[in-house]
A and B are shown apart, each in its own frame.
Chain A
Amino acid sequence: MLAKRLIPCLDVANGQVVKGVRFRDHQVVGDIIELAQRYAEQGADELVFYDITASPQRRSVDTRWVERIAAAIDIPFCVAGGIADVESARRVLYSGADKISINSPALLRPTLITELAEAFGSQCVVVGIDSLGTPAGYRVKQLTGQPDSMQDANRDTLDWISEAQQRGAGEIVLNCMDADGVRQGYHLNHLQQARAICAVPLIASGGAGTAQHFVDVFQQADVDGALAASVFHSGQIEIPALKAHLHRAGVPVRLTRNRQCQNA
């Protein structure tokens, strides 16, 4: 049975891992390679590196750190931020990333999704969506890396999830912005709506604060993976303990080597 995935997200700015609350006030939380190795050893199933400065500054990802990560860790990872064409995607994938995630560039030019899927296969192409609750329903935001550049994308989130799949997305990461960084739980309603129309893997993002939040999002929204940043970076939730909790709750997870030895 396919395991549910736990995915620490490392926001990268100027080559270092940072974290802000509600996308603001970024603070440096550590060295990329050190954190990546620590998470891989602890049993993270996958990592996402999100270059939050690339897209607003309209520059592509610096692939040197991508290569250093690929050499250092032995679990899959995805790179997001600033990938706006097939060539920049190729550089990132050939540097050792397993997937690329596109967000604002896909909103500006939706055919990019198809171009990437045709060049590398849908399995490499993740579409990240920043969704904000409004009186008119959930709406897509773009250029969310920095508050000054954020804009409304004039799209309904569920419509965009459908369109992204039709255009060739192999995975959707749905980040609920009003939940992000405040640790009050994933937005289960929104994720359930998304799940109902999402035939490809769906990853929940934004809101994790406790181990129970992860149980809830897997059991109630049937997402394939759960992404989180601050609860992992702060050490508030340790991945081995979280996996043990999920396992006890009946959620299928990949137990780490140490855990398997203890069980044996």
Chain B
Amino acid sequence: MPGTAPVVIVANGGSNINSVRWALKRLGVDSRLSDRPEQIASAARVILPGVGAAPAGMSALQRRELIDCVTSLQQPVLGVCLGMQLLFEHSEEGDTPGLGVIPGRVEKLSESPQVRVPHMGWNRLQLVADDPLLAGLSSAWFYFVHGYAVNPASTVEHALALSQHGREFVAVARKENFYGVQFHPEKSAAAGARLLKNFLEL
């Protein structure tokens, strides 16, 4: 579609928005930040970023009247970090209802002497389903920063990859056109660039 940005990043107030833009730019792809429903709906691909807490993340979408817009998208959508968590039905963080486009629940990671929360740093994936989003990434490391995560038991059919921090959690999920990654591909070096490239080629 002429005049349509190939990728629209939902401007939901998250502080990692520019990092996602720069990561796309390093792949030679222009993106547009927008909180306008018609621009988001007409994009070829949509990224829902997010850093911070689930209640603030949901109210940012509500305030901009974006909930119906995002839940009715038909093109590939990628939720990143908090943006992934918001795709699910419910988050324990502030007892917050999510967008509900992927069945499942977000729960607090529990800490123990060996398991520090937030889960901060580089971790690996265990692929549990084949998907073009994860092509070439079976042994890759990704950068995570989060204190909550999707419980695998709550979304068995929709988990593409798990990771482990004290217990297993969902690192990558998909239902139809909605994808979510708990890590930050925009900060995950070559592996992250490959994942974004895979998303752009879906």
Report chain A residues within 8 Å CB of B25: 71
A76: contacting residue among B164, B165, B184, CB under 8 A: B184
Those of B12-40 within 8 Å (CB) of chain A: 15-16, 18-19, 22-23, 25-26
Known A-B contacts A2-B165, A74-B26, A170-B120; A94 and B15 likewise in contact (beta carbons under 8 Å): yes
Judging by beta carbons under 8 Å apart, are B18 and A121 in contact?
Answer: no
> Is B111's CB within 8 Å of the partner chain A?
yes
Known A-B contacts A74-B193, A96-B22, A123-B147; A3 and B15 likewise in contact (beta carbons under 8 Å): no
> Is A160's CB within 8 Å of the partner chain B?
no
Scoring A residues 160 to 192 as 1 if CB is less than 8 Å from chain B, else 0, what string do you get?
A: 000000000011000000000000000000000
Report chain A residues within 8 Å CB of B15: 90, 93-94, 120, 124
Those of A1-32 within 8 Å (CB) of chain B: 1-3, 5
A121–B15 CA distance with the chains assembled, in angstroms? 11
Judging by beta carbons under 8 Å apart, are B189 and A200 in contact?
Answer: no
Q: Nearest A residue to B139 by beta-carbon distance?
A: A260
Known A-B contacts A2-B119, A3-B123, A123-B146; A96 and B51 likewise in contact (beta carbons under 8 Å): no
Report chain B residues within 8 Å CB of A35: none
> Is A122's CB within 8 Å of the partner chain B?
yes
What distance in Å separates the Cβ of A244 from its nearest Cβ neighbour in chain B? 15
Judging by beta carbons under 8 Å apart, are B121 and A74 in contact?
Answer: no
Q: List 5 A-B contacts (CB under 8 A).
A: A3-B121, A3-B123, A70-B18, A98-B145, A199-B111
Q: How many residues of A contact B (CB 8 A)?
A: 34
Known A-B contacts A201-B121, A254-B141; A74 and B187 likewise in contact (beta carbons under 8 Å): yes
A244–B196 CA distance with the chains assembled, in angstroms? 28
Binding site for A on B (CB under 8 A): 15-16, 18-19, 22-23, 25-26, 51-53, 111, 116-124, 139, 141, 143, 145-147, 164-165, 184, 186-190, 192-193
Q: 5 tightest A-B contacts by CB?
A: A254-B141, A93-B15, A3-B122, A254-B122, A123-B118
Secondary structure at the B interface, as helix, strand, loop or mixed, is mixed
Report chain A residues within 8 Å CB of B145: 76, 98, 123
Judging by beta carbons under 8 Å apart, are A120 and B184 in contact?
Answer: no
Report chain A residues within 8 Å CB of B164: 1
Total residue contacts A-B, CB cutoff 8 A: 92
What distance in Å separates the Cβ of B118 from its nearest Cβ neighbour in chain A? 5
A257–B124 CA distance with the chains assembled, in angstroms? 14
Judging by beta carbons under 8 Å apart, are A124 and B51 in contact?
Answer: yes
Binding site for B on A (CB under 8 A): 1-3, 5, 40, 45-46, 67, 70-71, 74-76, 90, 93-96, 98, 120-124, 170-171, 199-201, 224-225, 254, 257, 260
Known: A2-B165, A74-B26. 11 other contacts (CB 8 A): A3-B141, A45-B121, A71-B22, A74-B187, A74-B192, A76-B184, A123-B118, A123-B145, A124-B15, A199-B117, A201-B118
Known A-B contacts A74-B26, A75-B187, A121-B53; A2 and B121 likewise in contact (beta carbons under 8 Å): yes
Judging by beta carbons under 8 Å apart, are A5 and B23 in contact?
Answer: no
Q: Nearest B residue to A121 by beta-carbon distance?
A: B52
Report chain B residues within 8 Å CB of A224: 116, 120-121
Judging by beta carbons under 8 Å apart, are B19 and A201 in contact?
Answer: no
Judging by beta carbons under 8 Å apart, are B123 and A96 in contact?
Answer: no
Judging by beta carbons under 8 Å apart, are A75 and B146 in contact?
Answer: no
Known A-B contacts A93-B15, A123-B146; A201 and B120 likewise in contact (beta carbons under 8 Å): yes
Report chain B residues within 8 Å CB of A260: 139
Judging by beta carbons under 8 Å apart, are A95 and B18 in contact?
Answer: yes
Report chain B residues within 8 Å CB of A46: 121
What distance in Å separates the Cβ of A74 from its nearest Cβ neighbour in chain B? 5
